[in-house]
Amino acid sequence: MLKYMYADSSEFPLQRDFVDLLQRFSNAAIQAIPNQQQITDLKKRIKAMESQKESQLGEIDHFGNEIARSVDAVATSFGSGQYGPVADGIKASAREKVQGFRDSEKKKFETSLESLGRDLSKAQSSLLQIMGDFLYHDPLSIAQVEISASLRDKVYDSHLHVTCDNGTSYLFDLEFSEKEKRVSDFTEKPVQVPATMKHGVLSKEKKPRFLAINDWTLVEAVYRSNAETVLRATITKDPSDKTSPRLEMELKPGEARLQNLALVDEEGIKTDILKDDQLRRHLNGNLQELAKYLLGYFFGLMNKKKAIRKVGIDGSDLIQEDRTEAFIERAAKEYGDTVSTIRKKGLVKGELNLKAENIEGKRTELYLKIDEYKMKMSSIAEGARICSILGLD
């Protein structure tokens, strides 16, 4: 574990390699902005071709109508009664020829549009991957993290949704589990839940009826963390049976302690165990252990990102709404204050300097030459403006 410091050896608040972050940011910007321009150009070409298609097909339709009107006019002038059948034959033949020409032209347009559509889809996929590579290490200040997992047909659909302080967000698929997760996968200790209180056979005193849940399956879970932390999970005896008994649990925000615990039986009757004084007294301590293990497991999923699914900004889809430049500018603005402080505390003019110290106390200098960074960013037209926003002008 490394400890990061400013050049003057004072503590660096972000506690990460900010020099590396800026390099990855420049790599993302240099790839993403031209990619976005390609997408914009393709959309313009598609729109122009769709307009041309509509115009040309309309012109062909008009051409066919004019032929029919002209034939009718000639037939009328010679006597429609006598020449009408001839005119109908000419119009049918012309209509067939015009329709064949129309179909041919339409197919040409559709083939070109399909090709452009594939190019657009490929460019958008490439841009999403560029953004995913950049966002994989969570480079922005995080406001909230949400991890969800739902079991569907014996396969978990699991996602990580991150909302950032600057109005951006992103969604990753997660490597959750290739098999159904049972309680026994989280803890080997026997876990029981007091379901009801009933009278004993030889005693009038009520005793709890326990349900063993070690073989029960996790079917739904949502972990959410911002200023507080909460985990809600649903475990069921038989995930293939909607009427199967299930246990719903919630960990108290900010603590690894159960706040809510409810058992739903086969008839849909819900028992709030924590609000029942008798049932609560008989809770197995291993159930609390299970809750803690679940919390730790879901927290660990932060580092198991797979494919990126979506990037957002101000509630809109960055890819579909062409907001790449706005995203890059917003990230640069977020980094600007940190860059300014590093420069103030720096020991070498024209460089950004940080220090990294390992557990043995050995220090490594981290530096970035500002002129080299600006030269690198000059490969794109927006580079100078981005550097200015970063505070590297």
Listing DSSP states for 225-273 in one string gives: ESSSEEEEEEEES-TT-TTS-EEEEEEPTTSSSEEEEEEE-TT--EEEG
Q: How far apart are CA 263 and CA 272, in angstroms?
A: 7
What is the model's pLDDT at position 157? 94
Quick one: tokens of 329? 């500018």
| Three-state SS sequence of 38-56 | HHHHHHHHHHHHHHHHHHH
What is the model's pLDDT at position 81? 79
Angle at 284 between CA 282 and CA 288, to 5 degrees: 125
Residue 112, Cα to own-chain centre: how many angstroms? 31
Q: H-helix or E-strand containing 161? A: strand 155-164
Q: What is the largest CA-CA distance in the chain?
A: 115
**Closest to 91 measured CA to CA, from 79, 73, 78:** 73
What is the model's pLDDT at position 68? 93
Q: How far apart are CA 147 and CA 212, in angstroms?
A: 27
Q: How far apart are CA 32 and CA 125, in angstroms?
A: 11
Do 253 and 234 touch, CB atoms closer than 8 A?
Answer: no
Mean pLDDT split into 10-residue runs, the chain, 393 residues? 93 96 98 98 98 97 95 87 88 95 97 98 98 97 94 92 96 92 92 81 74 94 82 93 92 71 90 88 84 86 93 96 97 97 92 94 94 97 96 91
The neighbouring-strand residues paired with 147 are 160, 223
- Provide φ and ψ at 251, rounded to 5°: -90, 140
CA distances for 40 relative to 69, 248, 366, angstroms: 43, 48, 38
- Residue 323: partners with Cβ closer than 8 Å, 6 or more residues away: 313, 314, 316
Q: How far apart are CA 368 and CA 19, in angstroms?
A: 6
